[in-house]
Amino acid sequence: MNNLNDLNSLERIKANDPGGMLDALWKMPEQCEEALAIGRKTEIPSKYGSVSNIVVTGLGGSAIGGDFLRLYVTDKAGIPVIVNRDYNLPAFVDSKTLLFAVSYSGNTEETLSAYAQAREKGARIVALTNGGKLRQLAEGDGYPVIVVPAGISPRAATGYLLIPTLAVLEKLGLISGLAVELEELTRILRSLREQMQPEAPVEQNTAKQIAARFYGKIPVIWGVGGSTEVVAMRWKGQVNENGKAPAYWNIFPELNHNEIVGFEEPTALLGQLEIVLLRDTDDHPRVQKRMDISKDIIKGVVSGITEVRSQGEGRLSRLFSLTYIGDYVSVYLAALYGIDPTPVRNIDYLKQKLAES
C-alpha cells in the first residue's frame, strides 16, 4: 500500500496485518485490566519488604515497562530504580535489591544472564514472563513467577509487562492508588482507540495523519528527560519494529546542547526529517520554552514538525496515552509501506545465529 488514500481502506489495512497487531492494540485497555488482576494474584514473600533499590532487567519490548516503572516510582517513592538492558548487572545489586527479570518469551539470553547474576548476588527476584527458560529457572529456584498470556508480540504486551510489576510494588507498600490511576488510563485508552481505529478515516484519525507524514521520511522523535524520554524511545522502536523503517530520538534539554546545532547541512537530507515533539503538561516551563525556540530554529529546514500532547492527569495515563498514539502510527506506517507489522526477521535471525554459536 503506498497511496495515502489507502489508509481509508479497511480491507487493505486488515489484509496488511495478518499477525493481528491492530487487534492487540485495540485490546490494550482490557490487557491493562487483566494485567492488574494477574499482578495482584502474585504471592510475594514477606522477606521482600524494605528493599533499598529496584532493578528491572530485560530487553526491547520487555524492558520498556521497566522505564515506565522507573518514571512512575521516581515520582512516588524515594527509592532508586534502574533499567538494565545488558548481560551484566551493576555492582550495587545485592540482597536488598528487588529485581524484576522480564522476558516475554523467557528465552532472551541477556535477561537469563542477568537473572543468573541476580541469583548469585542474593537479590529478591520476581520473574515476569510467558514461559521459556526464565519461568523454568525461576520456578525451580523458588522465586515468585508472574505468568502472562501468550500469543502477541512482546511490544504489544506492554500492559502485561508493566502493570504486574506495579501491583507488586503496591503489595510491598512502595506505591499506592494504582487502581485509580488505571481507571483513568483505561478510560483514556478506550477513547483514543475509537479515534485511531482503522475504521476512523484519515481526516479524523491522528495516528493515520502522522503515519502519512512519516511515509518516505525519517522520523525524529523528541521527548523530555525524566518524563517523555521513554515515549520518544518507544515511538522510535515501534517505527523500527512495526514499520521496518529507521527513526531516531533525543531528549530536551540535552538536545539543545548538541543536536540542535546540526541543522545546517546536508540540507537535502535534513529536508527528509519529520520531527515529532512530545508535549506533556508536566514539562518544566523552561523546557516548554526550549521546545518553542527549537521549533523556530528547525522550521523550514526539516520536512515537517508535529506536536503530540499527552492526555490525562496521572503520570501513567500521560505517558501511556502518548505511547498508544505512537503504537498506532507505527502500524499505519507499516500499512503504507505494504509491510506486515508483526514479524521481526532481523531480531529472529540474530537470536538464531547467537543460539548456534
Minimum CB separation of residue 316 from ligand F6R in Å reads 20
Judge whether 169 and 77 are in contact, CB under 8 Å: yes
Minimum CB separation of residue 236 from ligand F6R in Å reads 12
Minimum CB separation of residue 350 from ligand F6R in Å reads 9
Minimum CB separation of residue 219 from ligand F6R in Å reads 18
**Would you say 104 or 214 has its CB closer to ligand F6R?**
104
**Distance set, CA 304 to CA 221, 247, 266, 276 (Å):** 12, 14, 16, 8
Is 241 noted as a catalytic residue in this protein? yes
**Would you say 130 or 186 has its CB closer to ligand F6R?**
130
| Residue of 257, 264, 265, 356 with catalytic role | 257
Q: Minimal CB distance to ligand F6R: which residue?
A: 60
Q: How far apart are CA 200 and CA 10, in angstroms?
A: 9
Judge whether 77 and 176 are in contact, CB under 8 Å: no
In the complex, which residues of this chain contact ligand F6R (CB under 6 A)? 59-62, 103-105, 108, 111, 153-155, 241, 344, 347
**Would you say 38 or 302 has its CB closer to ligand F6R?**
38
Residue 151: how many other CB atoms lie within 10 Å? 9
**Would you say 26 or 115 has its CB closer to ligand F6R?**
115
SS3 letters across the chain: CCCHHHHHCHHHHHHCCCCCHHHHHHCHHHHHHHHHHHHHHCCCCHHHCCCCEEEEECCHHHCHHHHHHHHHHHHHCCCCEEEECCCCCCCCCCCCEEEEEEECCCCCHHHHHHHHHHHHCCCEEEEEECCHHHHHHHHHHCCCEEECCCCCCHHHCHHHHHHHHHHHHHHCCCCCCHHHHHHHHHHHHHHHHHHHCCCCCHHHCHHHHHHHHHCCCEEEEEEECCCCHHHHHHHHHHHHHCCCCCCEEEEECHHHHCHHHCCCCCHHHHCCEEEEEEECCCCCHHHHHHHHHHHHHHCCCCCEEEEEECCCCCHHHHHHHHHHHHHHHHHHHHHHHCCCCCCCHHHHHHHHHHHHC
**Would you say 115 or 215 has its CB closer to ligand F6R?**
115
Is 284 noted as a catalytic residue in this protein? no
Minimum CB separation of residue 134 from ligand F6R in Å reads 8
| Residue of 110, 241, 244, 274 with catalytic role | 241
Minimum CB separation of residue 291 from ligand F6R in Å reads 29
**Distance set, CA 218 to CA 37, 231, 244, 251, 267 (Å):** 40, 17, 12, 17, 14
**Would you say 135 or 155 has its CB closer to ligand F6R?**
155
Minimum CB separation of residue 56 from ligand F6R in Å reads 12
**Would you say 175 or 334 has its CB closer to ligand F6R?**
334
Active site residues: 241, 257, 351
